[in-house]
């Protein structure tokens, strides 16, 4: 990967001092102007209203990795063994369907809504067991398995025209690009697109901007990198914590980049060195994000 120090670099600042064990899944709810993200291991759904600066969280009874805004209102929670409708006004949860409910080894991980209003979502072993994870698509309420044998599925995101999907198995260090048909289903085999196997940090969550570039969190490297159409690093956001997990564009014009982080696996010494690890960070890059449609279940 390109490592030219002259590329554009921004510094991320603390947005919400929430100190999640495993902050993940930032998702902008454009209708309600709220950013949601998850503290997976502590079974919490966090939220921020950027306009007012208010923030808070809901305590749940199971691990959740994404809250996807639904067409018609409310959220769909991607959980460790189920998908559930969630009403943030009264915190009511209603089960929608099972999700690997017969497999106690796994939990949900990365997920994102595609250009067709369908949801790609993944599973992984709770202890990152090798090959325990899978990749799925929830299309009009029906769950279809797309790929198995993954260890830590991440970086799920989509090109503006819906022609490509990206994802990674973090353990491999390689981001893959998959050609999609006109209905958003994969065609053929995914191809290697960006290789981080020989660099510091492991590819984690990702999001696409309005110029078609991919912003990728590098777990363990204290940065989010911006990749061009050829998978080359052209810019970066530096963080004061080492484990960024996923970026997302938010705000009324999608010009603010928020980044979830984690303190999972930290020793007492590491936590002393990075006391705000696991908190939500923000960077103003001046680059606009790509709006995502709400999730359609029918």
Predicted confidence (pLDDT) per residue in 196-243, tens digit: 999 999 999 999 999 999 999 999 999 999 999 999 999 999 999 999
Q: Is 14:283 a contact under the CB 8 Å cutoff?
A: no
Average pLDDT over residues 15-19: 98
Is 109 marked within a binding site?
A: yes
Question: Is 228 noted as a catalytic residue in this protein?
Answer: no
Out of 81, 204, 228, 230, which one is annotated catalytic?
204
Q: What are the residue ranges spanned by the domains of the chain?
A: 8-283
Q: Is 102 annotated as a binding residue?
A: no
pLDDT surpasses 50 at 3? no
Q: Is 204 annotated as a binding residue?
A: yes
**CATH code for the domain defined by 8-283:** 2.120.10.30
How many Å apart are CA 176 and CA 167, to the nearest integer?
A: 5
In percent, the amount of the chain with pLDDT more than 90 equals 98
Q: What is the pLDDT of residue 1?
A: 41
How sure is the predictor about 4, in pLDDT bands with cuts at 50, 70 and 90?
low
- Rounded to an integer, the average pLDDT of 168-177 is 98
Q: Is residue 107 marked as binding?
A: yes
Q: What is the Rg, in whole angstroms, of the alpha carbon atoms belonging to the chain?
A: 17
pLDDT in tens, 240-283: 999 999 999 999 999 999 999 999 999 999 999 999 999 999 99
Read off the pLDDT of residues 64-111 as tens digits, 9 standing for 90 and up.
999 999 999 999 999 999 999 999 999 999 999 999 999 999 999 999
* Closest alpha carbon to 186 in 128, 125, 144, 232: 144
Written as one string, the DSSP assignment of 97-150 is: EESSTT-TTEEEEEEEE-TTS-EEEEEEETT--TT-EEEEEEETTEEEEEEEEE
Query: How open is the CA angle 186-205-131, to the nearest 5 degrees?
Result: 65
């Amino acid at each position: 990967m390109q490592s030219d120090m002259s590329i554009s670099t921004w510094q991320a600042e603390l947005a919400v001092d929430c100190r999640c064990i495993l902050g993940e899944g930032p998702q902008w709810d454009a209708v309600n102007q709220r950013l949601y993200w998850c503290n997976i291991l502590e079974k919490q759904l966090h939220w921020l209203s950027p306009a007012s600066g208010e923030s808070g969280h809901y305590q749940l009874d199971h691990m959740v990795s994404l809250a996807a805004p639904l067409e018609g209102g409310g959220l769909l929670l991607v959980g460790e063994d189920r998908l559930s409708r969630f009403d943030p006004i009264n915190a009511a949860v209603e089960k929608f369907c099972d999700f690997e409910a017969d497999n106690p080894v796994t939990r949900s991980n990365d997920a994102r809504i595609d250009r067709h209003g369908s949801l790609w979502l993944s599973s992984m072993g709770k202890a990152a067991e090798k090959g325990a994870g899978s990749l799925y698509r929830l299309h009009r309420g029906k769950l279809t398995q797309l790929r198995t044998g993954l260890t830590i599925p991440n970086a799920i995101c989509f090109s503006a025209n819906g022609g490509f999907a990206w994802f990674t198995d973090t353990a491999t260090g390689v981001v893959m690009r998959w050609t999609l048909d006109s209905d958003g289903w994969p065609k053929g085999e995914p191809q290697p697109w960006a290789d981080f196997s020989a660099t510091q940090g492991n590819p984690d969550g990702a999001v696409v901007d309005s110029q078609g570039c991919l912003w990728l969190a590098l777990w363990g490297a204290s940065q989010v990198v911006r990749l061009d159409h050829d998978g080359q690093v052209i810019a970066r956001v530096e963080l004061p914590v080492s484990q960024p997990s996923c970026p997302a564009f938010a705000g009324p014009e999608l010009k603010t980049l928020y980044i979830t982080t984690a303190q999972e696996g930290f020793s007492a010494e590491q936590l002393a060195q990075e006391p705000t690890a696991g908190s939500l960070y923000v960077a103003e890059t001046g680059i606009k994000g790509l709006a995502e449609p709400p999730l359609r279940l029918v």
